[in-house]
Structure 1
């Protein structure tokens, strides 16, 4: 597979990669590099330089100023400022929230974030807002449904890597018919990476493997991860609802449970049912130290019923 004669000769179309963090972007880059060989030129918009030494530095523009030579770029679009341009190709990677936030937390701890259950709960709560914003712009919007945008969920990439690599190859090299044997060989020998327990481990030639089981995470708790799978509301929505109705912020230890209410209206209805709210209507009192405890409830998400325990 390493001989030049086996490297496919293709005409590339520049593709802008947009990815939610920890959604398999670098795995995909390694797969594409293994398939196309050195002709596949990549640039990581946030920190890198193009893999073509003839290009001295990343242009830090979107669309890429070197689109005639750079095939694929990376952008997390943290500021939601990346343009969505008709006629341009995009490849969007994302992942279920719970495993992505666990992996992201591991990296944050390596960079100095406090490694405690409380820190993880707050980190997950805060990261859910940008996660929703990313999905809204790049996954569920009208633009994201267009033919020029290829969605590639992480779960699909690791469960059916040959099929998903085939899709990516066709998107990047229109008109090229992927070589099934080459696809399988690349998938079987690609380097892998494991991020767990505050460590990053490179697994050489390990091939694509199943994603990490979140139940092995040191702060795993079944009710907690039930909440992570049921989150709907942004922190800001919860905070504003509490401020409007109770004149104070919610208690941090209950924040995730409040974010798991299906709608802001449902959360407001719960708050209005509490003694604290009723007492305020009779005689406004100073803010209490504790938030009302969310009631147990169930909601539908991704066609499953998830029970969310009290916190």
Structure 2
């Protein structure tokens, strides 16, 4: 039996995909940290009961648990809505790009070019929430006139000078040339930059990942009120359902099944197809200082 030859590009793509999934699962390490801290406190209390011993808590983060430590208070865990927003943004961007690539590969992906467009405001305070939608609407109209469906994924970033700019990934048939946004009037608010990604899907993900790695809670706070952090388009109904499924909590996915259309609703989650409702075991409250706390009610 002849050994199967390994395709280096597929190996790199698989490694990049595994790294992206690991980054998405990193916040769940907080649960592991919580259990480890509880065990350490229990051991310290036991040691304190023995004569001549002093209780010591190990407060070092350690290399096994990346990220900040959650704050706990009387059985409650603090929730950072901005960090949660960034986690959802990374998950949505990764899955939407993966689904766009897989969809194009089935229809002859070699006939498409991957473009990376940056849209920047000239004025720091020139942002308006409808600007990115106007640019994408113009691009979709341009694509419809050329008889193809435009697929795209975008993220918003706040520059050091305080102005917002957008990074947009688009998939364009190789026979067409996308107009430059600021020259054509598609982006009248400043300037733009267009780059053709030459190393395929792996290069596109690597190109965008350096921007996603900079997006944290501080960047989410810096966004103006009403500003969206990410978006995508061109996916069919089943692909949008899959993204909602992937972004739902693990225990909700297990309860509702692989083919559920999971929607967040008041008090939990539901499957839009079957109508099955799953109540959340967590309750959320906001204290006087504005902090958000999650806890499981007793009993």
TM-score by length of 1: 0.20
Relative contact order higher in (CA < 8 Å, ≥ 6 apart): 2
**Larger strand share, 1 or 2:** 2
TM-score by length of 2: 0.21
